[in-house]
Chains A and B, each alone.
Chain A
Amino acid sequence: MKQFMFLFKGGDDVWDAKSEEEQGAHMEKWMQWIGKMAEEEKYVGGERLYPAVKTIHPGGKKVTDRSFAEAKELVGGYITVKAETFEEATDMAKGCPGLQWESSVEVREVWPDEV
């Protein structure tokens, strides 16, 4: 089994515009999506991130806050899953509820795949 990371990007503006009830219902979908993977023993773990960003630029001297132009690329969180192939992982990622709320999911294989 290989491990893959799903990086969730963007969608913060949509999230912020929703009511608490809508957010709650949306998280229930996340629960079902991740819960199903957990049942199949394919879920490893993950974290959700706050939107505040500090970027330390190459060289290590320049530090900036995030700019609005990057909102769509902002990583909002990640989870790690197990899958046999990249294709399987990609199919699994298509179930992410964030896709309905203008997030994108980037699928990346964890390096190295076997320890």
Chain B
Amino acid sequence: MEPKDHIDSTINHLFRQESGKMVAVLIKIFGTENIELAEDVVQDALVSALETWKFRGIPDNPKAWLYRTARNKAIDIIRRKKHSKTIDFSDPERKLLTSEYTLANTMDNFWKEEHIQDDFLGMMYACCHPNISPENQITFILKSLCGFSTKEVARSFLTTEDTISKRLYRTKAYFRKHKIRPSIPYPEEIDTRTTAVLSAIYLIFNEGYNSTHDDQLIRKDLISQAMWLCKSLLDSKRTQLPEVYALMALMCFHTARVDSRITEEGALILLSDQDRSLWDTELIALGGNYLNQAAFGETLTTYHLEAAIAYQHCTALNYEGTNWKEILKYYDLLSNIDNDPIVSLNRCLILLELHGPEEALLAIEEIKDHKIIHTYYLYYAIMGEIHERLIQTGKAVEYYQQAMQLTQSKPEQQLLHNKIVRCLE
């Protein structure tokens, strides 16, 4: 008998890695109108695994064991539901499931390794259908493709299980109503559809990277799931697009620094104060490789530029040695791609480092008429920073106070509070 902890961690890892793939295969077998059925089969298979392995130990190939168990359960369900209307057997792909002459072999075809990856990616594209809202997309991805429980998804988004259940219900209803067939898009539309998938992945990543909750485990889980999803796009030839490599590079660079930007108490540490020896050099090198691969072709996306900026930060020996000139160049390109006031704000921060507070102030004057900026704490935080450098501490404190009122994040509030204290000293 194996120690229980070992079994738990193995099955947890396996669950995260394989449940989404099994759900994708089973949805293909049962149809998108039967997503719950697919999820139930996976859940059953995992429960069987846990019960069996507890007594007999983990088999040599636990993944194959899980797949076989799910396959057998699927066969049982097909036999039971052959004459009901639950499953649409008129579909040519499913017709052969109805006869014992062809059931087992047809079922085996569904579970062939070469199809599984495509089915999984097909589900990712289906989840990121343009008519499904981004929050519903990522909720569904985490629940069905990443093996999160409803409770875990709720904790990830700091919301209630009830809200998550409603989101899941709406997404499933959409699938049912429109008979969505999961598939990797045709080449002519793969770029636009991949954009949606990447922004869902980046949302999940940012939920882990930027989110304000103190649960470190959930945060790390979200980060690693986002990277895993992006990696599975890179594992398939059809979806090895420059922007996918770029996002992967960006996430590597961010993740490499994740441990150095928060204290044990959960307080934020500014880039200038971070202990660079904590940065994960392997991950930075890996990100560099992805960034090189992202450079093929004509595509230049915001991910490319954000990754290039992050790369500059990651490879600077110290804060003073940061190549602000190069970074400013990338920000200029970023502003050209999408005229996002938040990008312009961040660009002002670079100007502040590179040319000092006067120039930064001129630049921020240019964008201050954007409505959204005045609801964004970063505008006031930067204004505070600029005035602090101009040694107009009274004004600086006022700006910092306004910024504090506009952010909900405790660590950010704390950081601003520290700046105010610094000004008043």
Total A-B residue contacts, Cβ distance less than 8 Å: 40
Measured in the bound complex, the distance between the Cα atoms of B137 and A20 in whole Å is 45
Measured in the bound complex, the distance between the Cα atoms of B94 and A35 in whole Å is 11
Q: Are B96 and A34 within 8 A (Cβ)?
A: yes
B95 at interface, CB cutoff 8 A = yes
Q: Are B105 and A45 within 8 A (Cβ)?
A: no
Give the contacting residue for A43; candidates B95, B100, B104, B105; CB below 8 A. Answer: B95
Which residues of A are found within 8 Å of B96, using beta-carbon distances?
A: 31, 34-35, 38, 43
A46 at interface, CB cutoff 8 A = yes
Measured in the bound complex, the distance between the Cα atoms of B98 and A31 in whole Å is 12
Give the contacting residue for B99; candidates A28, A34, A39, A41; CB below 8 A. Answer: A34
Q: Using a CB-CB cutoff of 8 Å, which residues 90-143 of chain B contact chain A?
A: 92, 95-96, 98-102, 104-106
Measured in the bound complex, the distance between the Cα atoms of B96 and A79 in whole Å is 11
Mask: chain A, 30-56; 1 = CB below 8 Å from B; 0 = not: 110011001101010111100000000
- Of A31, A35, A47, A48, the most chain B CB neighbours within 10 A belong to A31
User: Known: A28-B105, A31-B105, A38-B92. Is A48-B100 also a contact (CB below 8 A)?
Assistant: yes
Give the contacting residue for A46; candidates B99, B104, B105, B106; CB below 8 A. Answer: B99
Mask: chain B, 245-259; 1 = CB below 8 Å from A; 0 = not: 000000000000000
Measured in the bound complex, the distance between the Cα atoms of B101 and A46 in whole Å is 8
Q: Are A27 and B104 within 8 A (Cβ)?
A: yes
Select from chain B the residue with minimum beta-carbon distance to A44.
Answer: B95
Q: Are A31 and B99 within 8 A (Cβ)?
A: no
CB distance from A55 to the nearest CB of B (A): 23
Cβ contacts A to B, 8 pairs, < 8 Å: A27-B101, A31-B96, A35-B96, A43-B96, A46-B99, A47-B100, A48-B100, A79-B101
Interface on A for B, CB 8 Å cutoff?
A: 27-28, 30-31, 34-35, 38-39, 41, 43, 45-48, 77, 79
Interface on B for A, CB 8 Å cutoff?
A: 92, 95-96, 98-102, 104-106
Seed contacts A31-B106, A35-B106; 16 additional CB < 8 Å A-B pairs = A27-B101, A27-B104, A27-B105, A30-B102, A30-B105, A31-B101, A31-B102, A34-B99, A34-B102, A35-B96, A38-B92, A38-B95, A43-B95, A46-B101, A77-B100, A79-B101
